[in-house]
Amino acid sequence: MPTLYTMPGTCALAPNIAIAWLDAPVDVKVMEHGEQKKDEYLAINPKGKVPAVTFEDGDVLTEASAILSWLGAEYGKESYARDTKLGRREAEALSYMTSEVHADYGPHFAAQSFADDKAAQEAVKQKTYGKLAKHYERLEGNLEENGGDHYLGKRSFADAYLYVLTRWIELTPLKIDDYPALAKFRERMQADDGVKKALARQNMEAV
């Protein structure tokens, strides 16, 4: 059976949610913070990050968007096929959320990687929050344009990743209440049985 490696507070929550939605036969292993840097896990994923999926044949798949794509192809069948309009738009949305929005959280999580002294680090963070605000404005607009219930108008794995981003906003000076569509979306997601199951597996609570 494949195994998903995840950790509380990380973007690995998104594939965990997807597994719950699909009722996929994938084991979920929750690690404590710091375990991802230990030799045992580095032998699985030398990048020292989650998520990662291990397979019985020894293969390893990393990166949330790639894992979500595999889950959809393996267990979602037509619902998440990349040759459908929803599937194509899902791939586009996940690429944006992971390679742009998530990436722009870098200076928030590790300002020391972008500047040496405290004043410079704070300046980098403030610039980062400005960039993130623009991302959340775009996410808010796209969600509203598609009816507000789901990011793409119908449920997709983009919703799972967007939920992660609506949690992360609480770590910044930005306020979810400034994005009412996203705030309502987060409430709906937290009432979802699959999301509740994934949160429980990662020892996490609703925000």
With respect to residue 69, please indicate whether it lies within any of the assigned structural domains.
yes
Q: What CATH code is carried by the domain that includes residue 67?
A: 3.40.30.10
Q: Which of 89, 90, 129 is CA-nearest to residue 109? A: 129
115 and 186, same domain (yes or no): yes
- Tell me the pLDDT of the chain (207 aa) as tens digits: 999 999 999 999 999 999 999 999 999 999 999 999 999 999 999 999 999 999 999 999 999 999 999 999 899 865 566 778 888 999 999 999 999 999 999 887 876 878 778 887 788 888 999 999 999 999 999 999 999 999 999 999 999 999 999 999 999 999 999 999 999 999 999 999 999 999 999 999 999
- Listed residues 77, 108, 134: the one ending a domain: 77
Strand order through the sheet with 27-30? 27-30, 3-6, 52-54, 60-62
**Residue 61, helix vs strand vs coil:** strand
The secondary structure of 98-111 as a DSSP string is: IIIITGGGHHHH-G
**Residue 62, helix vs strand vs coil:** strand
Structure tokens, 4? 């998903």
**Predicted local confidence at residue 153, as pLDDT:** 95
Q: Whole domain around residue 30: which residue ranges?
A: 3-77
59 and 94, same domain (yes or no): no
**Predicted local confidence at residue 78, as pLDDT:** 54
**Predicted local confidence at residue 81, as pLDDT:** 63
With respect to residue 200, please indicate whether it lies within any of the assigned structural domains.
no
7 and 48, same domain (yes or no): yes
**Predicted local confidence at residue 1, as pLDDT:** 95
188 and 111, same domain (yes or no): yes
- Listed residues 62, 77, 92: the one ending a domain: 77
- Listed residues 77, 105, 132: the one ending a domain: 77
With respect to residue 205, please indicate whether it lies within any of the assigned structural domains.
no
Structure tokens, 173? 């000076």
88 and 187, same domain (yes or no): yes
